[in-house]
A and B are shown apart, each in its own frame.
Chain A
Amino acid sequence: MASVTHSFMKLFRGSSTIPGQPARSASTSQRLTRRSSGLGAVSRTMQSEEPICVLDIGSTSATNIRYLTERGHKIYSEDLLEASADPALIMKDEQGQPILDSRRFLADNLVYPAAQFDIVLCWNLADYMHESLVKPVVARLWSTIKPGGMLLAFFHTHEAGPDAPCYRYHIVDNDILEMQHVEARRDLRRGPTGILHTSIEKSFRLQRVFNNRHVENLFRDFGSIKFFLTRDNIREVLVVR
């Protein structure tokens, strides 16, 4: 029975809200604090006096922008999870299953010169992004990172459960993060006249749980990988190109 449950948690896809689950707090401003060893490792580079280039592919975070620009660094912000929710990306694969058009996605997103970034903050993107985009995005990220540059990513463990909430991450200190629950997301789409339209949709759902081997395979093109285990069902992964 335990193994069936385990397999179910591993293979769930887009399940609906479980009846009887207590309603979550409606506040999007409530933040939880957690210590991050992965961030601590990356912060040594952020503390350098030489200006560095950082790419943050989580939700727009004024806190992160402030933290990095205060230190004289440049920050590029691009909410890839929100960009991946564009309905125009939906297409069918050979079996008729819906997938997302990774070529179109990468034509509009992560368009940077090669080897530009010293640090990429990936946060929990891989856990919540549609499967058809994950590997192409990681490959693109590899090309945008300088040799010796770092990428920090978070992955849920199996114990997290299928309803693990999607959080935004804000850097408040060298190794301290604030986590803010994403209750809703902005759906951005461009109309036929080129005008951007927005609507508010439900938050993102956990798409999968990576095991360590999956994570190593995902980042196989990187030079080194380091895992930081935490108590809150999150694995922090630091990879170096």
Chain B
Amino acid sequence: MDMAKTGEFAHLGKSVVIKGELSGSEDLYIDGKVEGTIQLQGNNLTIGPNGHVHADVNAKGLVVQGKLEGNIRASDRVEMQKSAVILGDIVTQRIAIEDGAYFKGKVEIQRESAKPNTAATKPEPQVEARSAAAGGTVVTKQ
């Protein structure tokens, strides 16, 4: 997943607490507490290891290292790292789950509709299983 370089995304530190609707047009890194909704269509969200998000999320890509309670709609990809705890339903095109991640909810893969004049072959829905013990090596990949 494309990640913005350090300094090119908004950063909420672990002492920050926000209640309400969070929206933006840039990538966002949350390591604090957010309660409400998060709207980042077209941009990526990362929930850091200290992050605790209790919100429905709408983003392009999502990486979870902390805790997320809420439904997720990611137009591109959802990645759950080994420390992730996710409670909620997920609708996305691709999903990657590291060994050790905890997930409770539904997963529904929705393919992006084919765009006209696309030269490359449309990728199949991808789910990756990663072994954290193997240092993050991809065990299976579509």
Closest to B141 in A: A66
Among candidates B52, B96, B125, residue contacting A62 with C-beta atoms closer than 8 Å: B96
Instruction: Give the one of A66, A188, A195, A198 with max B CB within 10 A.
Output: A66
**Chain B residues numbered 60-103 whose CB sits less than 8 Å from any CB in chain A:** 67, 69, 85, 95-103
Among candidates A28, A74, A194, A196, residue contacting B85 with C-beta atoms closer than 8 Å: A196
Assess the A69–B109 pair: CB atoms within 8 A: yes
Assess the B129–A66 pair: CB atoms within 8 A: yes
Digitize A51-84: 1 where CB-to-B-CB distance is under 8 Å, 0 elsewhere: 0000000001111011001100011111100110
Please, which residues of chain A bring their CB within 8 A of the CB of B134? 29
Is B119's beta carbon under 8 Å from chain A? no
Digitize A179-198: 1 where CB-to-B-CB distance is under 8 Å, 0 elsewhere: 00000001010000011101
Digitize A74-106: 1 where CB-to-B-CB distance is under 8 Å, 0 elsewhere: 111111001100000000000000000000000
Closest to A27 in B: B133
Assess the B127–A60 pair: CB atoms within 8 A: no
Is B112's beta carbon under 8 Å from chain A? no
Assess the B131–A65 pair: CB atoms within 8 A: no
Size band of the interface chain B makes with A: 20 to 34
Assess the A76–B102 pair: CB atoms within 8 A: no
Please, which residues of chain B bring their CB within 8 A of the CB of A69? 95, 107-109, 125, 127
Is B105's beta carbon under 8 Å from chain A? yes
CB distance from B64 to the nearest CB of A (A): 12
Is B104's beta carbon under 8 Å from chain A? yes
Among candidates A66, A186, A194, A198, residue contacting B140 with C-beta atoms closer than 8 Å: A66
Size band of the interface chain A makes with B: 20 to 34
Please, which residues of chain A bring their CB within 8 A of the CB of B129? 61-63, 66, 170
Please, which residues of chain B bring their CB within 8 A of the CB of A198? 85, 102
Assess the B105–A62 pair: CB atoms within 8 A: no
The B interface, classified by DSSP as helix, strand, loop or mixed, is: strand
A76-B106, A188-B102 are contacts. A29–B131 as well, Cβ < 8 Å?
A: yes
Is B121's beta carbon under 8 Å from chain A? no
Assess the B107–A28 pair: CB atoms within 8 A: no
Bound Cα distance A196, B33 (Å): 12
Among candidates B101, B132, B142, residue contacting A70 with C-beta atoms closer than 8 Å: B142
Bound Cα distance A106, B109 (Å): 28
Bound Cα distance A195, B87 (Å): 13
Please, which residues of chain A bring their CB within 8 A of the CB of B103? 60, 77
Please, which residues of chain B bring their CB within 8 A of the CB of A29? 99, 131-134, 139
A63-B129, A196-B52 are contacts. A79–B107 as well, Cβ < 8 Å?
A: no
A29-B133, A70-B142, A195-B52 are contacts. A62–B128 as well, Cβ < 8 Å?
A: yes
Please, which residues of chain A bring their CB within 8 A of the CB of B97? 60, 62, 65
Closest to A112 in B: B106
A29-B134, A65-B107, A66-B129 are contacts. A60–B52 as well, Cβ < 8 Å?
A: no
Assess the A75–B107 pair: CB atoms within 8 A: yes
Assess the A77–B105 pair: CB atoms within 8 A: yes
A195-B52, A196-B52, A196-B85 are contacts. A62–B106 as well, Cβ < 8 Å?
A: no
Question: Closest 3 interchain pairs by CB?
Answer: A66-B127, A62-B97, A62-B129
Known: A62-B101, A70-B125. 6 other contacts (CB 8 A): A28-B99, A28-B100, A62-B98, A76-B105, A76-B106, A82-B102
